[in-house]
Amino acid sequence: MMKPYSGSFFAIACAVTLLSGNANASTYYQSDIGVRSFSRGGAFIAGNDDLTAMFYNPAALTRLKRSQVMVDVAGVQQFVTFQRTAFEGNGPLDPVTGVPSNIEYDEIQNKAPPYAIPHFGISSRFGLEKTTFAFGFYPPYAPDLSYDKDGSQRYSLIDVLVIQTALGPSVAHQFNDWISVGVGVAWNLLIAEQELKVSVPFHKNQIRSEVIDGEIVTTIDSPTPNEDPSNDVGFRFAAKDASGISWNAGVMIEPPSHNWALGFMVQPPVAFQTEGTMEADFSNHSLHTDELVGDYVILSETSKDKMVRMDITMPLILKGGFAVRPTHKSEIELAGVWQNWSSIDKITITDVNLKVDLNEDHSQEAAQMEDVTITDDVELPAEYQNSWSVRLGGQQALGDKWIARTGVFYETSGIPDATQSVSLVDGNKIGYGVGGSYKPNGDWSIDFGVSQSFPMDTDVTDSKLKQISIDALTGEFLEGTTIGNGKYSSNLLIFGAGVVWEFGKES
């Protein structure tokens, strides 16, 4: 009786957790990194003039005529509010009749503080006239998300930590007065940790005994899925991949006059093979804490799988930009980015080996249970869509010591409304950037900037997100309550500062 319950519960919980635990946006990525870039609204592909060229367009490294060291630190914060739509019959069951009550939901907010993300890099020509070598650390931006553990969103997300880095070398060569080409390779580290809750609904009225023809006949009814906190089971997941390899390539066309520049970059798909652990916590569930029924269903306080695996491939990314320089002190760039998120058709969870210990000595019935080991692979479809953005930005030198930057952008979402959740809050958005640089002398530059983006509010009425709900007594997977309907509001704030030091002679 217990095997189907355990298998369904843990396999589905594993899949949902792993899928949402990688959430970073468009979709998984914020579009831009680097203080100078987000100050220009992300329009920094053809006009890039610092070590973030390793991320935007490695061909632009040929502009770095002197050796350079760059350090940036940015704070990323996403303000999220979610007012979930209430519906009838989703609350705790009446202790006598078993009829579900109603719940009104409070608005929830992301409580996580700004997430600090550093970047650094170094470049040199090593005495060569037309070739630039660089090495850097340039992770994509992503916010931190943390919500009330008992809030209306708890079946989607309570807390998440995602760290993705890119570390490696790049090289660029100027083939003639017009054309430069650059390539880069990076070692990627992905760490994902997440906490949420799943539901195992139970009510004592499900079990009814009566005497028929002198024999006691026990009938077990299917429970009504609900959101009674006493049915919640804590679920935690942690995984990492320290072997992801990515590369990108770029080209830059710029005449000797430097009046304009055209840049392109391509980054092929990046494969991650995460390995980690998942754990279910039954310590507060009624079937574990209630002595009258706990012995018959859930005896282990926790169950843990020490090794699960998920393979996911991040999409192809294309970038392009055209910059014009009306004067030697000013630059305007129009740029665009396209991300092939629709290539993610499904998420596959493999190497599941979760053992649930049912052989405690609390009762004779429990002693007759066999241990359950879950080994089935799990496939969960993804419905992401391609996203694109348009950016317009530039800069103006103000004398010899100051540079002002600003820009605006529009970006489409990679997540359809039907799969929107508090773990992946995204929508079509507009944004701006503003900032500048102070150059005390010819060797140093101090950069500063801020950027905000404003996704359109989303009122979801046809959510496909369901609460994970399992009948504890029969092992059947239940149609859980809909948990994604409601109004999502969000805006993203990025702010930061950096320093660039140039040294040595110009090559």
For 432, the token pair is 């701006």
In 120-151, which positions are buried (b, 16+ CB within 10 angstroms) versus exposed (e)?
A: bbebbbeeeeebbbbbbbbbbbbbbbbbeeeb
Task: Please enumerate in sequence order all residues whose Cβ is within 8 A of that of 427, keeping only pairs 6 or more positions apart, or say none.
Answer: 413, 415, 420, 455, 456, 457, 458, 488, 490
Q: How confident is the model at residue 353 (pLDDT cuts 50, 70, 90)?
A: low
What's the pLDDT tens digit per position in 224-249?
788 888 888 888 888 888 888 999 99
Q: Rounded to whole angstroms, what are the CA distances from 366 to 150, 184, 295, 471?
A: 31, 59, 6, 18
CA distance 407 to 434: 7
Residue 253 has pLDDT above 50, yes or no: yes
As a whole-number percent, the residues of the chain with pLDDT over 70 amount to: 80
**For residue 198, what pLDDT is reported?**
85
Residue 333 has pLDDT above 90, yes or no: yes
For 118, the token pair is 């550093």
Task: Please enumerate in sequence order all residues whose Cβ is within 8 A of that of 257, keeping only pairs 6 or more positions apart, or say none.
Answer: none
DSSP helix/strand/coil, 468:
coil
What number is the average pLDDT over the span 158-185? Answer: 93
**For residue 16, what pLDDT is reported?**
42
SS (H, E, C) 244-284: EEEEEEEEEECCCCCCEEEEEEEECCEEEEEEEEEEEECCC
Cα–Cα–Cα angle for 208, 210, 213, rounded to 5 degrees: 150
Higher pLDDT, 465 or 431: 431
CA distance 142 to 160: 11
Residue 190 has pLDDT above 90, yes or no: no
What's the pLDDT tens digit per position in 56-75?
999 999 999 999 999 999 99
Q: How confident is the model at residue 21 (pLDDT cuts 50, 70, 90)?
A: very low
Q: How confident is the model at residue 436 (pLDDT cuts 50, 70, 90)?
A: very high
What's the pLDDT tens digit per position in 386-429?
999 999 999 999 999 999 999 999 999 888 888 888 988 888 99
Residue 306 has pLDDT above 70, yes or no: yes
CA distance 35 to 41: 10
CA distance 477 to 466: 12
What number is the average pLDDT over the span 2-17? Answer: 37
CA distance 80 to 91: 25
Task: Please enumerate in sequence order all residues whose Cβ is within 8 A of that of 108, keeping only pairs 6 or more positions apart, or say none.
Answer: 81, 82, 84, 147, 148, 151, 152, 153, 422
Query: Which ranges of 271-430 would DSSP assign to H, the alpha helix?
Result: 286-289, 294-297, 364-367
Q: How confident is the model at residue 357 (pLDDT cuts 50, 70, 90)?
A: low
What's the pLDDT tens digit per position in 121-168?
999 999 899 999 999 998 888 888 999 999 999 998 999 888 888 899
| pTM for the model | 0.86
What number is the average pLDDT over the span 257-284? Answer: 89
Q: How confident is the model at residue 19 (pLDDT cuts 50, 70, 90)?
A: very low
Q: How many other C-beta atoms are found inside a 10 Å radius of the C-beta of residue 370?
A: 9
CA distance 475 to 480: 14
Nearest residue to 55 (alpha-carbon basis) of 201, 359, 265, 320: 265
Residue 177 has pLDDT above 80, yes or no: yes
- Residues making up the chain, counted from first to last: 507
Q: How many other C-beta atoms are found inside a 10 Å radius of the C-beta of residue 268?
A: 14
For 269, the token pair is 């798909």
For 400, the token pair is 């010899």
For 93, the token pair is 């069951």
**For residue 308, what pLDDT is reported?**
78
Beta bridge partners of 292: none
CA distance 200 to 104: 21
Task: Please enumerate in sequence order all residues whose Cβ is within 8 A of that of 441, keeping only pairs 6 or more positions apart, or say none.
Answer: none
Q: Is the dihedral of CA 49, 54, 59, 64 positive or negative?
A: positive
CA distance 45 to 391: 10
Residue 300 has pLDDT above 80, yes or no: no
Q: How confident is the model at residue 208 (pLDDT cuts 50, 70, 90)?
A: low
For 76, the token pair is 């990323």
Q: Which CATH class is domain 2-396+467-482?
A: mainly beta
